[in-house]
Amino acid sequence: MKVLLADERGFCFGVERAVDMVEDALENKETVRTLGPLIHNNEEMGRLSSSGVTTIAEPVQIERGETAVIRAHGVTPEVQGDLEERASKVVDATCPFVTRVQRLASRAAAEGRHVIVVGNPEHPEMVGVKGYAPEHSFVINDSSELADLPKLKNPLVVSQTTIKAKTFFDTADAVKEIAEGETEVINTICSATRDRQDSARALSGEVDAFIVIGGKHSSNSRKLVAVCKEKCDKSFLIQTADDINPDDLEGVETVGVTAGASTPNWLIDDVVRKLESL
Ligand code: SF4
């Protein structure tokens, strides 16, 4: 069976960087503890935990002598300060794209402006960003929530890195209509998700079947399957090579492979090896 890989697949820049930083700390023989799971992939988490990496839920769980890792989503300045006080070392693996949103929010707040962040207020990335402008910022899912906010003054509108562009721009337009003064709009959406979808879409017309590697509960991975199905009926979501069902691929000569942004390369390699052996 011929296997064709989507150009953009697997680990995004921010996740790869975070995993590399953890690997460096392990090489230094540090006791590594991540605040929250480093990555939404069970197999990679299993690999890291077998190398000694443990996860904590609260900064209070970290102890002297240990290295605390801030994952790609970032944290509030308070949480970072707490970790710095308790741990012997803090590895800040906040994705630079997220750091940018934090800095923009902090700058606008310092100028006395309101900050509208379009995103899910419950998402850890948004909790962290909100901490950079606690008094001045509002995290909202979309424009329908604007009615609940106080009068906005010279607002800055930014976004969670992973939301849909349409939601962001529709909300920004609605802010412009109701805000006092000038509204500054800065698109802080990261292109990793869209790049993976575009790349899968481009390949899906050339193959008889498509395998997407990612978590069964990952909405990004499920969306990748939906994109592949637009042109390729036989598109399947699997977590590991063991999930490949040869019956699904009967008569298939060329198969496409892609993977969600939390899927490590070693899992992709396993799947490719298995497909090539069929
Ligand atoms: S999806 Fe984008 S913003 Fe999020 S960690 Fe990956 S590269 Fe960074």
Statement to judge: residues 90 and 62 lie in one domain = yes
Confidence class for position 113, pLDDT limits 50, 70, 90: very high
Domain of residue 75: give its range: 13-95
Token look-up 């994109």 returns 227
Confidence class for position 217, pLDDT limits 50, 70, 90: confident
The per-residue pLDDT for 218 is 82
pTM above 0.85, yes or no: yes
Residue nearest to atom 1 of ligand 1 (CA): 192
Last residue of a domain, one of 139, 165, 185: 185
Q: How far is the CA of 192 from the centre of ligand 1 (A)?
A: 6
- Ramachandran angles phi, psi of 182, nearest 5°: -95, 135
Statement to judge: residues 87 and 120 lie in one domain = no
Last residue of a domain, one of 152, 185, 218: 185
Statement to judge: residues 202 and 130 lie in one domain = no
Statement to judge: residues 78 and 120 lie in one domain = no
Statement to judge: residues 104 and 181 lie in one domain = yes
What tens digit of pLDDT does each residue of 42-64 get? 999 999 999 999 999 999 999 99
CATH at residue 247: 3.40.1010.20
Last residue of a domain, one of 33, 67, 95: 95
Statement to judge: residues 20 and 50 lie in one domain = yes
Statement to judge: residues 120 and 180 lie in one domain = yes
Statement to judge: residues 41 and 112 lie in one domain = no
CATH at residue 33: 3.40.50.11270
Domain count of the chain?
3
Residue 187's closest CA among 155, 214, 221, 159?
A: 159
Q: How far is the CA of 92 from the centre of ligand 1 (A)?
A: 14
Confidence class for position 14, pLDDT limits 50, 70, 90: very high
User: Quick one: which atom of ligand 1 is closest to the CA of 13?
Assistant: 7
Distance CA 266, CA 197 (A): 21
Whether the CB-CB separation of 210 and 230 falls below 8 Å is answered with: no
> What number of helices (H) and strands (E) belong to the chain?
9, 12
Whether the CB-CB separation of 98 and 80 falls below 8 Å is answered with: no
Is pLDDT of 219 > 90?
A: no
